Amino acid sequence: MNLWIILIVCWYGILCEVGCRSVHRYKQAPQNLFDEKNKEHWQLQAQWTLRSKVLAPLNKKVAKNVILFLGDGMSITTLAATRAYLGQQRGLNGEELKLSFEIFPYTGLAKTYCVDNNVADSACSGTAYLTGVKANSGTVGLTAAVKRGDCEGQIEGRHSVTGLMDWAQRAVKSTGLVTTTRVTHATPAAAYAHSADRRWEADTDLPSKGPRCDDIATQLVRGRIGSKIDVVLGGGRHNFYPKNEIDPEGYSGYRSDGVNLAREWLIKKKSQGRTPKYLYNRNDLLNLKVNEYDSLLGLFSPDHMPYHLEADGDDPTLTEMTRKAIEMLSKNKNGFFLFVEGGRIDTAHHETKARKALDETAEFAKAVEAAVRMVDAEETLIVVTSDHSHTMTYSGYSKRGTDILGFTNKLNASDSLPYTTLSYANGPGYKPHEKFLRHNLMLDDINHLNFTYPSLVPIVRETHGGEDVAVYATGPWSHLFTGNYEQNYLPHAIAYAACIGNGLTSCQSL
């Protein structure tokens, strides 16, 4: 059953239950509890929310399993717009809907700045929410003592930091990583790598002069943490193949050292006594018999995986990868830690392609919903958050149900030209003014999949935003995630709930 149907059914049941009690109290039931013009609609809705919060028990069990979902660039504005996007696809207004994780009982706000920048990138923020230490922009798995590009600082080692992936492995839990970007991209890299520059994904990316650092792909296969990850699913295959080799789908590799890291991964796992499987297409993933393997590497695209709206069916969806990862990891009696990234929300925003960004957010919500259905809610902590915001705004005074991706339906701007409900503070969607007038958007096909939404400031790639991001949590100790806190607090709270790491845990007495 689809997310929006579930929410409507649940709400209908709530209204019926509370409405029946209203019959006894008021002697007359409301005529239509779904009518927003009916005061009982809002009163009963608010009363149910209140009751659910008052009666919700605190789960203080140890979190056997942890799933951390990260919507890259998933700002609060993106969430609000995606609700409308989903609802309008199904003939509803949309604003009244909730995404799968928005029904989680506990919500907080995380502050995302880097040590050196007021607006975060995915590298420093990834280091914060995966290791518990804030870092400099562009660096992965290193303290702020290392500046971007400082290879010697990376090699030195004493500034390296580890986090949830390492702590879970030390607790003999299974670990997994799922992403729609390259598995060596900044966000997933923060789970296992230490790199002075997020761009050093393959050896070809390293500086030609000076000391040679281990690239991120190499660290995934040979590193102490990366080599122990049980499930890795995503894109970025070319970073694992040498330039003189063609991968299974006919694409050339990118590495300059002549090493085939995909083959090396298989050999290394077998030497550890494991039963590994390497995949590169959706069909093999869906048909995989999880009981026959204990290690899984899936590299489904040479670069980032395609946007959902452009996929041709040869690549698995985020939901499909998440399901398979949970199936694999759930075999461990000690539990697991799984990190799942919806990474193409971010890349779409950078291109100011709001349609793609909202659709990727909807796909992300589906993956969360799938995970919730598969795990035991009493023993699994699920946290959903973002690494940073974007500059997309949601403005105007349009009537309910107005196409979220279209024009506002109120008065035009003071220059008598229309404007879209969604726009960006900066980015490639900027178009020069003509005769002191804005570009007339009526001349554009705003319904096109690759329409770049208007931007105030011209820049090749739209930037991130600096405001706080939302955090949603359910399961053991999920009440720890309320309030406003630094982003690096997240892994400490997760570790407390799961009794992993070297800090305070729920298994210790204060």
388/124 Cα distance (integer angstroms): 10
Q: Is 159 annotated as a binding residue?
A: no
**Structural contact between residues 476 and 105, judged by C-beta atoms closer than 8 angstroms:** no
CA-based nearest residue to 191, from 68, 365, 304, 295? 68
Q: Is 346 annotated as a binding residue?
A: yes
How many CB atoms are closer than 10 A to CB 277?
20
Q: Is 448 annotated as a binding residue?
A: no
The amino acid at residue 502 is N
Q: Which letter does DSSP use for residue 101 in this model? A: G
**Structural contact between residues 369 and 340, judged by C-beta atoms closer than 8 angstroms:** no
154/213 Cα distance (integer angstroms): 7
CA-based nearest residue to 193, from 2, 205, 73? 205
Tell how strand 106-111 and strand 469-474 pair up. antiparallel
Identify the helix (H) or strand (E) that includes residue 407. Answer: none
Q: How remote is the C-alpha of 257 from its chain's centroid?
A: 32
Using DSSP's 3-state secondary structure scheme, residue 297 falls into: strand
How many CB atoms are closer than 10 A to CB 108?
22
Tell how strand 336-342 and strand 65-71 pair up. parallel
**Structural contact between residues 324 and 367, judged by C-beta atoms closer than 8 angstroms:** no
Q: Is 187 annotated as a binding residue?
A: yes
CA-based nearest residue to 105, from 304, 361, 383? 383
Please enumerate in sequence order all residues whose Cβ is within 8 A of that of 129, keeping only pairs 6 or more positions apart, or say none: 68, 70, 110, 385, 387, 487, 488, 490, 491
CA-based nearest residue to 322, from 293, 364, 280? 364
478/147 Cα distance (integer angstroms): 34
Residues designated as active site = 122
Q: Is 464 annotated as a binding residue?
A: yes
Q: How remote is the C-alpha of 488 from its chain's centroid?
A: 16
Q: Is 214 annotated as a binding residue?
A: no
Q: Is 350 annotated as a binding residue?
A: yes
**Structural contact between residues 78 and 85, judged by C-beta atoms closer than 8 angstroms:** no
Sign of CA dihedral 483, 485, 491, 497: negative
181/342 Cα distance (integer angstroms): 8
Q: Tell me the binding residues.
A: 72, 185, 187, 341, 346, 350, 387-388, 464
Annotated binding site for Zn(2+): 72, 346, 350, 387-388, 464
**Residues in binding site for Mg(2+):** 72, 185, 187, 341
